[in-house]
Chains A and B, each alone.
Chain A
């Protein structure tokens, strides 16, 4: 609201400045105006429209053949500088626009006006009494450069006064703004929107009830336009579904009055689809991956031994806990900046549960400062049940896991403090990390702690690799989580991951070979293989 006031005031003051500047000679318009008359260009032909596929509706796609006189066509008159896309809007649709604007104004003005009206009123009185100190007004007034804020010319105050009055008038004049009127405007507007498709269906361009409205423009040479309307009724771009829409494309020239309209195309209707056929390849992957995982988890459940190669970082976790116990120093576990629902954080919870269990068994001290309140909640739960599993529920206390702050560098500052003051024997960083990774890992290294890290943030892995003793690279974090979870079924998914990777390799090699063959033999249909893996957005 203050914003509106400011904009209006600025506008008024700029007008005022223009009045001041009237004595100066008018600026010369140097734009070259082509005074030769332009002949009407050839029209766009073959205009077709269809509903956009695989979407939520409210969008139409138009294609056409450019005008012969297109700027890009060297053999024509080259007079078409752009294409204007026009949609037929029945009278009712224009009425809905008006209702929308009024509802919008009432809705957004109702609350602030209660506060601002008295302020504006009192400011008007002050100005009438000859006040020239703009900074004394209860809101900011933007003055043109060079005008003194505490001693504005009386002329200027006149414009301020006018702007204030206009703003007040705009807020109150047209409509009665009250709690009830908001509801009335809302229901009127929504009822009108409801009947919009009928209005479109009954009043095509031939009925004459309505007018053409520009919905976009395209550059010369274009043959395609996507009229993507909004699905929100309150948006000015709202485009109804299941309504008969008619389009035409105007070939426009440098002279606004000279253009040629194409034949009208329509009716076309926009509608939403229930299945996105562009994502079938993802659906197939979902099915394959789910089957693989379920099969291997079942195998593991039945007791089949699944081999997992040793990972240095995993073995280091157990060693590090033993070392901390020997030294009588705590272990610091950092879950990173992820939310509780980030997969990396969830993997980290599983590793934390193993660490906490060992810590409880060895009766070492554990410190878990957290960045996110929900992560804190979950981590408390995880650590508590690990202590329970280890048979030492009494050793658990709520201060092991605590919240610091949700500000990246404040969190880092606090964790650095812990590292330097409590000198943990081991620091474990598992989860999501951003720029702070290096600050944490270097401080820990300088403090002499053994450090183990794992993150899915590719950009941060190099810093951990340099500054930590063991780093779980990328997917190894998830492998470690499955491995340390202590349940063989969790390992089943590792097997599924490996099979998916093998599948990837097979597809990649096949793709590589088809491309070579396609290029070497000229059989370009082979390159189609790539299309199978394309996903619609």
Chain B
């Protein structure tokens, strides 16, 4: 029962979702939206698991003084400060229950943390892509097989499409590449992927695929 019951639940919820797809009636839609709410709420509880894991791993590192343990102190400091400002209404030394407004969380320290720590690091990490795309392009240049050369050639044509040195033909070719072979390949991938997903989903609903429950 311990092992089988979850799969019965998988089957029932999966089957209901297939069923409701063909039933537009309000009653089936109501259950669908209701279950969708459940899903987000369960997700909210799951956050606690994640935070617990983060705290446990960091604490463990500090306690055993593993390599780089000092940085785990920084992780925990960032975590607790941000949580404190996000959940309490601490401002000017007074506490209170936080007021959730339509504009979101407006505790000024919380906003400062977001604007001056999270945003800059996030944007910079993202901008690293500029360097990495360059180094990836360099890696592609050294390609020696036929298919890798095809990739490189197509990439070069599209990259240079606005370059006046090559004349107008390059833009025409680049557009053709984006509109014709690209469309064909995208469609082939989408169909394959779609069928792969559909098959996996069906295997899950029918209880054939059980790897995700830790049982092969």
Interface residues of A (CB under 8 A from B): 1-3, 54-58, 115, 231, 241, 272-276, 279, 282-283, 286, 289-290, 293-294, 297, 340, 343-344, 346-347, 349-350, 353, 372-374, 376-378, 381-382, 384-386, 389, 398-399, 402-410, 412-413, 421, 435, 438-439, 441-443, 445-446, 456, 458, 461-463, 465-467, 473-475, 477-479, 481, 485-487, 489-490, 492-494, 496-497, 500-501, 504
Question: Can you give 5 contacting A-B residue pairs, CB < 8 Å?
Answer: A275-B23, A347-B200, A349-B212, A490-B209, A493-B208
Alpha-carbon separation in the docked complex, A404 to B55 (Å): 10
**Using Cβ atoms and an 8 Å threshold, which residues of chain A touch B49?**
373-374, 376-377, 403
B34-66 vs A: 1/0 string, CB under 8 Å?
Answer: 000000000100111111011011001000000
**Using Cβ atoms and an 8 Å threshold, which residues of chain B touch A376?**
49-50, 53
Residue B25 CB within 8 A of the other chain: yes
**Using Cβ atoms and an 8 Å threshold, which residues of chain B touch A473?**
189
Within 8 A of A (CB), among B95-115: 99, 101-103
> Are the CB atoms of A293 and B192 closer together than 8 Å?
no
Alpha-carbon separation in the docked complex, A485 to B22 (Å): 32
**Using Cβ atoms and an 8 Å threshold, which residues of chain B touch A407?**
118, 122
Nearest-neighbour CB distance to chain B for A224, whole angstroms, equals: 20
> Are the CB atoms of B209 and A501 closer together than 8 Å?
no
> Nearest B residue to A285 by beta-carbon distance?
B198
Alpha-carbon separation in the docked complex, A384 to B211 (Å): 12
> Are the CB atoms of A481 and B200 closer together than 8 Å?
yes
> Are the CB atoms of A403 and B135 closer together than 8 Å?
no
Alpha-carbon separation in the docked complex, A402 to B54 (Å): 7
Within 8 A of A (CB), among B184-216: 186, 189-193, 195-204, 206, 208-209, 211-216
Which of B49, B60, B101, B195 has the most C-beta atoms of chain A within 10 angstroms of its own C-beta? B195
Interface residues of B (CB under 8 A from A): 18, 21-27, 29, 43, 46-51, 53-54, 56-57, 60, 67-68, 99, 101-103, 118, 121-122, 125-126, 128-129, 132-133, 135-137, 139-140, 151, 186, 189-193, 195-204, 206, 208-209, 211-216
Which of A274, A275, A343, A386 has the most C-beta atoms of chain B within 10 angstroms of its own C-beta? A343
**Using Cβ atoms and an 8 Å threshold, which residues of chain A touch B208?**
297, 489-490, 492-493
Partner of A478, one of B54, B56, B196: B196
Alpha-carbon separation in the docked complex, A286 to B21 (Å): 11
Alpha-carbon separation in the docked complex, A519 to B86 (Å): 65
> Are the CB atoms of A350 and B186 closer together than 8 Å?
no
> Are the CB atoms of A409 and B125 closer together than 8 Å?
yes
Partner of A497, one of B22, B25, B195: B195
> Nearest B residue to A409 by beta-carbon distance?
B125
Partner of A56, one of B24, B129, B139, B196: B24
> Are the CB atoms of B211 and A485 closer together than 8 Å?
yes
**Using Cβ atoms and an 8 Å threshold, which residues of chain A touch B99?**
115
Alpha-carbon separation in the docked complex, A349 to B215 (Å): 11
Nearest-neighbour CB distance to chain B for A258, whole angstroms, equals: 41
Nearest-neighbour CB distance to chain A for B54, whole angstroms, equals: 5
> Are the CB atoms of B125 and A389 closer together than 8 Å?
no
Partner of B211, one of A349, A403, A413, A475: A349
**Using Cβ atoms and an 8 Å threshold, which residues of chain A touch B24?**
54-56, 272-276
Alpha-carbon separation in the docked complex, A279 to B67 (Å): 59
Top 5 closest A-B pairs, CB basis?
A478-B196, A373-B50, A475-B192, A381-B214, A350-B211
> Are the CB atoms of A478 and B22 closer together than 8 Å?
no
> Are the CB atoms of B216 and A486 closer together than 8 Å?
yes
Which of B54, B135, B192, B212 has the most C-beta atoms of chain A within 10 angstroms of its own C-beta? B212
**Using Cβ atoms and an 8 Å threshold, which residues of chain A touch B23?**
274-276
> Nearest A residue to B27 by beta-carbon distance?
A272
| A475 and B193 contact, Cβ closer than 8 Å, known pairs A273-B25, A274-B25, A412-B125 | yes
**Using Cβ atoms and an 8 Å threshold, which residues of chain A touch B211?**
346, 349-350, 353, 382, 481, 485
Nearest-neighbour CB distance to chain A for B157, whole angstroms, equals: 14
**Using Cβ atoms and an 8 Å threshold, which residues of chain B touch A410?**
121-122, 125
> Nearest A residue to B147 by beta-carbon distance?
A465
